[in-house]
């Protein structure tokens, strides 16, 4: 799909389609949707940021919120090497002496009134954030130096950025920090919610495996470990695969413990319980 802006043809990105669903913690969903709400003609949507440890579901929440609004969702993965042109428009050589201008997921969302998730946004440098400054205030536009055009955001365009709560990130400059509000913090879920998240992602898992992994995660959370439900999903999935190759029911214990060790390391076993033997 293409659009023409000021005589420049832009090739648009495709929206992302993910098989995910937000489970539990509806208050977080309410806060995110409220930030995007426009209450009258003089109001503007906010640009929230979702903060939390890796694997707690920030991207899942953002994607599910966009789908709940019935909108196309575009994900742009930020890295330490993300440049301003990566965020906006990238020129690609096409044929002899010709350039093709490719719009980023963010610019595509701006033009089509979609929702963009700027994933792990605090891995970007200040130079990259500076190119988005006019988009994040009441101007709601970006300027592409590469293509020589100004692009205004569709009224239905919404932005959210996710940020990992760890040390391998840039500090946000103050003028960007104040444009990315509110800050919505995602913490570890309660036990029932964590169980249902695991069940949603591992619908083929037996109940006692889901309970084992849920108990493991809850023990780790209580000790302030950074293990997340994503780790739990990997433990459960690997344990199920190991068990499927076993010849005896008693091998389930070994499968679970091996899955914990190979996923998170032997020290993680301190938070694991030995399942009761299964009676044949």
How far, in Å, CA of 84 to CA of 69, rounded?
29
Across the range 25-41, mean pLDDT stands at: 94
Q: What is the pLDDT of residue 231?
A: 95
How far, in Å, CA of 265 to CA of 257, rounded?
10
Across the range 17-37, mean pLDDT stands at: 91
Q: What is the largest CA-CA distance in the chain?
A: 73
Chain-wide mean pLDDT for the chain? 90
- Signed CA dihedral, 265, 164, 238, 194: sign only: positive
Between residues 168 and 269, which one has the greater pLDDT?
269
Confidence label for 47 from pLDDT (cuts 50, 70 and 90) = very high
- Could you tell me how far CA 274 lies from the centroid of its own chain? 33
Report whether pLDDT(280) > 90. Answer: no
Q: Architecture of 2-185 per CATH? A: 3-Layer(aba) Sandwich (3.40)
Q: What is the pLDDT of residue 245?
A: 84
Q: Domain spans of the chain? A: 2-185, 191-271
How far, in Å, CA of 88 to CA of 128, rounded?
10
Q: What percent of the chain has pLDDT over 90?
A: 73
Across the range 66-91, mean pLDDT stands at: 94
List the structure tokens of 230. Answer: 């994503």
Across the range 56-74, mean pLDDT stands at: 94
How far, in Å, CA of 134 to CA of 122, rounded?
18
How far, in Å, CA of 87 to CA of 106, rounded?
7
Chain segment 195-227, per-residue pLDDT in tens: 999 999 999 999 999 999 999 999 999 998 989
Chain segment 109-167, per-residue pLDDT in tens: 999 999 999 999 989 989 999 999 999 999 999 999 999 999 999 999 999 999 988 65
- Could you tell me how far CA 111 lies from the centroid of its own chain? 22
Chain segment 224-265, per-residue pLDDT in tens: 898 999 999 999 999 999 988 876 665 778 899 999 999 999
Across the range 95-106, mean pLDDT stands at: 88
How far, in Å, CA of 169 to CA of 167, rounded?
6
List the structure tokens of 166. Answer: 């760890």
């Amino acid at each position: 799909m293409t659009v023409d802006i000021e005589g420049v043809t832009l090739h648009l990105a495709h929206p992302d389609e993910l098989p995910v669903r937000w489970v539990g913690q509806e208050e977080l969903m309410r806060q995110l949707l409220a930030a995007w709400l426009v209450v009258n003609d003089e109001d503007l949507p906010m640009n929230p940021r979702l903060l939390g440890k890796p694997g707690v579901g920030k991207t899942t929440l953002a994607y599910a919120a966009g789908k709940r609004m019935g909108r196309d969702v575009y994900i742009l993965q930020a890295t330490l090497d993300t440049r301003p042109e990566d965020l906006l428009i990238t020129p690609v050589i096409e044929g002899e002496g010709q350039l093709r201008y490719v719009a980023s997921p963010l610019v595509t969302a701006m033009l089509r009134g979609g929702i963009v998730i700027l994933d792990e946004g605090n891995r970007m440098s200040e130079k990259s954030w500076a190119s988005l400054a006019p988009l994040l205030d009441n101007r709601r536009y970006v300027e592409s130096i590469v293509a020589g055009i100004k692009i205004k955001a569709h009224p239905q365009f919404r932005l959210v950025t996710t940020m990992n709560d760890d040390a391998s990130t840039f500090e946000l400059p103050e003028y960007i920090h104040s444009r990315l509000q509110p800050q919505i913090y995602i913490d570890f879920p309660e036990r029932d919610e964590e169980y249902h998240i695991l069940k949603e992602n591992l619908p083929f898992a037996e109940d006692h495996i889901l309970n084992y992994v849920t108990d493991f995660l809850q023990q780790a959370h209580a000790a302030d470990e950074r293990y997340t439900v994503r780790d739990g999903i990997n433990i459960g999935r690997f344990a199920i695969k190991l068990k499927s190759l076993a010849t005896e029911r008693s091998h389930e214990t070994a499968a679970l413990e091996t899955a914990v060790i190979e996923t998170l390391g032997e020290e993680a076993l301190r938070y694991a319980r030995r399942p009761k033997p299964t009676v044949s």
